[in-house]
Structure 1
Amino acid sequence: MEFLFGVFCPAMSVDQNTEANLVAHISTSLNFGGVEKHMEILARSTRYSGCEHCFFAIGSGGLTATRIEALSKRVTCLGQSTKIPNIMAVWTLFRVLSHMKPHVVHTHGAEANFHGLIAAWLAGVPIRIGEEVGIPSHSAKGRWVFRMVYRLAHRVIGISEAVTGWLVDNDEVPADKAVRIYNPVDLTYSIKAIPGEVPGQFRLGFVGRLEPVKNPVVLLEAVAKLRSASIPAEVWLVGDGSQREMLAALAKQLQIEQYVSFLGYQENPAQYISQCDLYVQPSISEGFGLALVEVMACEVPVLATAVGGAPEIIEHGRTGWLLEEPSMEELVVMLKQAWKDRTQLAALGKAGRDAIITRFEPRIYMRELETLYGSILKSVQER
């Protein structure tokens, strides 16, 4: 281990010459979360790449940093605040990139895009890629700021058509600079071990942060409504977040605490979700829906709000169900229908797995990335 510019970092070599095949990925942190999971899958996918890939966290490291290091990848955690704007974060990244001289900088997420693209431009990195991981909730001022920042990028990736469309429609990214590339997904999960319903229960599963945007409150309210209608519903919540204590109190208030299991963060959520009759994702907003695809890989039927990438992943009635409104009332209607048609759940789960198994493979993702990098390099060289 060594200290780099006064912050704690894993040991790494610094090359004074431009590394023509080096891609530097910048995210806000490398602990745990959706973007962090994406970084880990990306690191595992580099076996399909002709480039060397290294990973930066503007803020802290943690679980994901350790896992990526175990894959013999270079990891650097800068320990800087990710709040926009942080001049020290830009300055520290600039110094690191100026010494390392990667050929590509690929930033992931709003805070990483802001600080990383500015630093990469200042450092003269030849290829600069931003990636938006969700549909932003920017104010008019925020849209103007990111419009300026994205001028420094050669391309901006949206992880779904919904995200890319928002960026273009809101004038943050010109249409000729926006590109959609779906996230890669680990599709090695086992097929559901328990076919059909769990005897005596209608077990619902949820994976994600226990935060307002994921809307877990309506899921608990729906369970209470189902039980009052003599439907034996229960729910397993895999994940943690700021609403954990409030949800536990709500379960007690609704008198369903014995039917709600808080499983916390799990390294392998598939071992729990594969035992559920139906996976429910009642999100208010989503970017792509990584958990959704991972669940479908388990051959578990899914019900998700038609936001973000969900309509691009699910064909309603064939590979899963889409919920038009993330309200408790609409959710209860759909769940009652699923309970009524539960003998068809196994077939729906199989159709879902068959539909996604070849769409989100890491090999495909890496090929699309390197094609993008190559096209930008060609256009830069031709100028």
Structure 2
Amino acid sequence: MKVLHVTYDMRIGGTEMVIKNIIEGNTDPDIKMSIFCIESPLGPWGHELQKTALIDITVANRKPGFDFELIQQLRNHIKTNTIDIVHCHQYTPWVYGALAAMGSSARVIFTEHGRFYPDTSSWKRKIINPLLMQLTQQVTAISRATKEALKAFENIPLNKIKLVYNGILPLSSPKSDVETLKETLGIPNDFLVFGTVSRMDPIKNHKLMVRAFAEFNQTFPNSILLLVGDGEEKETIVGLIEQYSLSSNVILTGYIKKPVNHIAALDVFLLPSFSEGTSMTLLEAMSLSKPSIVTDVGGNPEVVQHAETGIVIKNNNLKDLVSAMKTLATDRQSRELLGRNAKLRFDDMFSLDKMCKAYKALYQKR
């Protein structure tokens, strides 16, 4: 069986990590996977897969507007390589993938990985989507919230959408490595560490984290905010840190390729995003037994059980975030219990094996 993953590119992000994990988690020698990127450049994870997994990757260069030539290019690729499954990731790749597979024997699967904030509807999509569904064997969503959004904004019936949660391999980090990292970053052992790993994008709401930490730090001065990542919001975040005089208590590392030790160094993982599907870094934190504070958006309240594996707060609510941080700061036993529960929930719900088995079943479904 030949499975072709159709996506924008293979740069660093949640969708790309899911594709990478599906490919690396495939243990069936009878299933051969490849990737077709509709946009260039390919991205670092694409280059990594080419080297380590010897995956065939084709990179196109989508033109502005609707690119009819791209459909033909993708159709030729499907037929020439006798593709059995065209697995499209995100909406635009689905449009091109479904149209390209039309008239071939390839079956189409569309996975929606998340929604933009604020979510919007389009009359054009609501007209064309039922037609695309005629060319599509299965639609999957990575959270119930994403599934509901597909119905509300894309006119796709709920009974046509299957829920498949993201899955990853659990992380591990030797205690000695974490101690070395803390020493390198200048974090005292008795300091409480809050933080996150994410691109510095407005949707991740780093500004709320800094503002909340500024208020929290007044009561708990022996604390650190560790922000791992880079992006367009960095300059704004640096400005806020200076405005609140937090330079001694906020650490910006920039992009870290493998931030496992940084996540392991946290006492509490923060994810106050405006919108989320199923955050891969949140799953990574849970696999390391970290309690979390997340906003009540997208898949967050499905992943984090309030008061059992973490704390779920209102979206963009400064008071709630400060309160949650103070609650966990004052109760070490509670932090540790939430962390243990988070690991148990991760093992039960979000393992790589569980996700890969779910997609394999869809590939084999006739």
| Counterpart position of 2:146 | 163
Contact 1:279 1:301 in 2 (8 A): yes
Pair 189,199 (structure 1): closer, same or farther in 2 beyond 3 Å: closer
Mapped to 2, the partners of 1:69 and 1:177 lie a distance apart of 34
Pair 1:105-2:86 in alignment: yes
Partner deviation per Cα, 1:349-372 (whole Å, 9 max, x = no partner): 112111211322222222211222
Mapped to 1, the partners of 2:70 and 2:253 lie a distance apart of 35
Contact 1:150 1:172 in 2 (8 A): no
| Counterpart position of 1:368 | 358
Pair 1:72-2:62 in alignment: no
The alignment covers a number of residue pairs equal to 354
| Counterpart position of 1:141 | 123
Pair 119,191 (structure 1): closer, same or farther in 2 beyond 3 Å: farther
| Counterpart position of 1:115 | 96
1:239 counterpart (229, 238, 241): 229
Mapped to 2, the partners of 1:214 and 1:83 lie a distance apart of 28
Pair 254,142 (structure 1): closer, same or farther in 2 beyond 3 Å: farther
Contact 2:14 2:279 in 1 (8 A): no
Q: Which one-letter code corresponds to 2:82 in the other structure?
A: K
Pair 1:153-2:136 in alignment: yes
| Counterpart position of 2:44 | 63
TM-score (norm 1): 0.85
Pair 1:359-2:360 in alignment: no
Gaps of 5+ in 2: 180-186
Shift of 1:36: 1.5
Shift of 1:192: 6.7
Shift of 1:335: 0.9
Contact 1:58 1:81 in 2 (8 A): yes
Q: Which one-letter code corresponds to 1:167 in the other structure?
A: L
Pair 200,69 (structure 1): closer, same or farther in 2 beyond 3 Å: same
Contact 1:130 1:150 in 2 (8 A): no
Q: Secondary structure at the match of 2:102?
A: helix
Mapped to 2, the partners of 1:127 and 1:201 lie a distance apart of 54
Contact 1:198 1:277 in 2 (8 A): no
Mapped to 2, the partners of 1:370 and 1:79 lie a distance apart of 27
TM-score (norm 2): 0.89
Q: Tell me the C-alpha RMSD between the 2 structures.
A: 2.3
Mapped to 1, the partners of 2:244 and 2:146 lie a distance apart of 36
Gaps of 5+ in 1: 1-20, 378-383
1:187 counterpart (170, 173, 177): 170
Pair 1:173-2:156 in alignment: yes
Pair 260,182 (structure 1): closer, same or farther in 2 beyond 3 Å: same
Mapped to 1, the partners of 2:280 and 2:175 lie a distance apart of 18
Shift of 1:230: 4.2
| Counterpart position of 1:38 | 18
Q: Which one-letter code corresponds to 1:32 in the other structure?
A: I
Partner deviation per Cα, 1:73-108 (whole Å, 9 max, x = no partner): 433232413766333332321221121120100011
Q: Which one-letter code corresponds to 1:43 in the other structure?
A: I
1:280 counterpart (264, 267, 270): 270
Contact 1:282 1:326 in 2 (8 A): yes
| Counterpart position of 1:314 | 304
Mapped to 2, the partners of 1:331 and 1:225 lie a distance apart of 10
